[in-house]
Structure 1
C-alpha cells in the first residue's frame, strides 16, 4: 500500500483515509488516458499478420503471421489447408457431371490443389523472413492460390464488381448512420462485438458483420440495413473462410505494417466512412488515399500496409471493408471453394 512506511499497521483506518486522494487521482489519470486513446480497447482475441515490432526501424523488419501460436485466425487457416485433395475428391463425388466438358470446369482447381501448399511456402504463417530479402516478393497469397487468375494490386471502381461497388456507395448514409450508433456505444465503454487487432503502434479495432465467411448475427442485428445491403451484393464472399464484412477503425498513430492476404480469390473493397488527413493504403509499393463515400478496390494477396499519421483531434480513420469474389472465378468453382474452405 502506498505510504505504508509512514503509518503503522496499528492504524489501518488512517491508511485507508489517507489513500483516498491517491485513488481519486489514479482514477482521473486512467480516464484521461482512455480519452486520449480514443475510447476503450476491444477484446484482443483476434490477431493478424504484422511485422515484428522489435525490429521496427532497424532495417531488419521481419514478417510473421502473428506472435501467438493460439491465434484463432491462424489456427483456422492452418486447419483448412489440410487434406485439400481429399476434400476436393469428396466434393466431386457429390456432384453429377453429364460429360467431359463439365468435368473440365474443375481442372484449374484440381491443378491448384495438387500443387499442395506451395502458396505461402515462401512466407508460412508463423515463418519469419527478413524484409531486405523480400523486397521483390510482392504477390504471395499465404494459404491458397487459384491458378490462372489474372491479378494486379489495384482495380478501378468501374473495372470489377461495378454494380456492387455502386450499391455500397449509394448506401453510404445508411451504413454510416448504423455504424455511428454502434461506435457511440463503444465510446461509452460497451465493447460488445468488437475485436482488437495487434499492431506495433496505435489501436486498430474491428466490428465484424461477417467474419471468415460466417455471419455474426448479434452484430448484424445492430446494423440491420447494412446487413441487408450485403445480402443484395451479387459478388459478396460469404460461407467461405476468406470472406469478411467489417467496420475497421484506426486511431491516430496506428500503423498496420506490410503483410500478405491469404488468397487470390477476392477483391477487397474499402468504403471510406470517415477519412482524416494523412491516412494512406499502400499495395505493392503503390500508395493511394481513401475518400469518404467512395470505394478503393485492391488485391490484398499483394504486400500491403495501412497507416493513420494524422492528429488525434482529427478522429479515427473508419472504413467498411467488404470482400468480393474475383470476377474470373466461375459459379461452379465458387461452390467447390466454399466446400473446401468453410469454417
Structure 2
C-alpha cells in the first residue's frame, strides 16, 4: 500500500473490511444451511423408520387420542369399575357365583396385570392379547367360517339377505350433508371414517334416525353385543392409501363381523399374519383380540372400502355370562 495516498489507503482498508465481513456472513449462512439439511435428513430418517415399522406391523401398540376410547385411554378405569360392579352383582345374586367364576378369576387377573395398554408392544404375531378384559378358558380362533359355526349362521344370513337395505342406508349417510356425523379414526396414513349406530354399548340416537332399516335389522340379531362397552355397530370407510397399523382389540369375548358393502381388491385385512379380502354382500368374521391391521394399497381416485361392522358374542359364552358381563361392563352414563 506504499505509494498510495492516505485517502486511497483508507478506501482499500474499508474495502478489505467489507469483504471480510461478507465472507464471514457467507460462511455463517453456509453453516446454517448445512445444519438445516442435517436436521431435515434426521427428521426424514425418523419418519421413514416409523412409517416402515407401521407398515410391517412391528410398531408399538396402535392407539388413538379419543378420551372416551375404552381400548386406548380408559382401560384401567373400565376394569376397576367392572371389578366393583362384579362384587355388587355377587351380593345381589349369590346363587350365580359358580356360573360366573371364570369372570371373577379373569377380572382379578386383569387388575393385577394392568400396566398401561398404550405402552404394550405387539406380542408374537399369531397370539391374542386383549388389552382390557381377557376372559380365560375360551376356545380362541383368529378367523371364523360363518358357514361352519352354527351360532353365527342365522345372524350372518340375516345380514347378507338384507345387504341391499343396509347399503341403501349407507349411501344416504355418505352424502355431503351427513359428513358432520362421521368420525375420523387415527391412522398413520390415509383416512378411516366411521359412523356409529352403537358406540361402546351406547345407542347413538342422532345417527340411528338416518339408518332406521339397518338398526331394525341388527336389533333382531341373536348374538349382537350391544349392552356393554365392548359392543359396537358401525359403518366403516377406508380410503385409498390408508394404513391401519397392526393392533389388538380390547377383549376376546367378541367376534367382529364385517358385512362387505363396497369392496376393492386393493384393500386387505391381516389377522395373525393371514390375509383376507372382503367380498360384497358377504360377512367376514374374526376375533380382534388377535393382532390385526388393514392396508388399502389403492391410489387416489380408486374406490374406498366400505363395510358394516357388528360385534357378536363369542360362541363359548353362556347366556348367564352374557348378562353378567353386560352388567359388569355396562356403559357409563348410558
Pairwise same-fold verdict (TM > 0.5): yes
What residue in structure 2 maps to residue 10 of structure 1?
A: none
| Contact 2:143/2:287, CA 8 A, preserved across alignment | yes
Alpha-carbon separation, structure 2, partners of 1:53 and 1:204 = 21
Greater C-alpha Rg: 2
Tell me what 2:59 maps to: 62
Do 2:265 and 2:277's aligned partners in 1 also have CA atoms closer than 8 Å?
no
Unaligned runs of at least 5 residues, structure 2: 1-46
* Residue pairs, 1:1-343, within 5 angstroms: 55-57=50-52, 61-66=58-63, 68=65, 70=67, 72-73=69-70, 74-95=72-93, 97=95, 102-117=96-111, 121=115, 124-129=116-121, 134-136=123-125, 138-158=127-147, 159=149, 160-184=151-175, 188=176, 190-343=178-331
Q: Is the 8 A contact 1:201 1:253 kept in 2?
A: yes
Deviating more after overlay: 286-295 vs 152-161: 152-161
Change (3 A) 1:69 1:210: closer
More helix per residue: 1 or 2?
2
Q: Distance in 2 between matches of 1:119 and 1:321?
A: 30
Cα distance, 1:337 vs structure 2: 0.7
Report the Cα distance in structure 2 between the residues aligned to 1:223 and 1:83, rounded to whole angstroms: 33
Q: How many residues align?
A: 280
Q: CA deviation at 1:115?
A: 1.4
Q: Deviations over 1:55-83 (max 9, x none)?
A: 12158943235264846443333321114
Tell me whether 55-64 or 145-154 shows the greater mean CA deviation.
55-64
Unpaired runs of 5+ residues, structure 1, are 1-51
Higher mean alpha-carbon deviation, 330-339 vs 244-253, is at 330-339
> 1:188-211 deviations in whole A, cap 9, x for unaligned?
254232100010110000000000
CA distance in 1, matches of 2:114, 2:265: 35
8 Å Cα contact 2:106-2:136 kept in structure 1: yes
The two structures have a TM-score, normalised by structure 2, of 0.78
Distance 2:243 2:170 in 1: 23
Residue 13 of structure 2 corresponds to: none
Calculate the TM-score normalised by the size of structure 1: 0.76
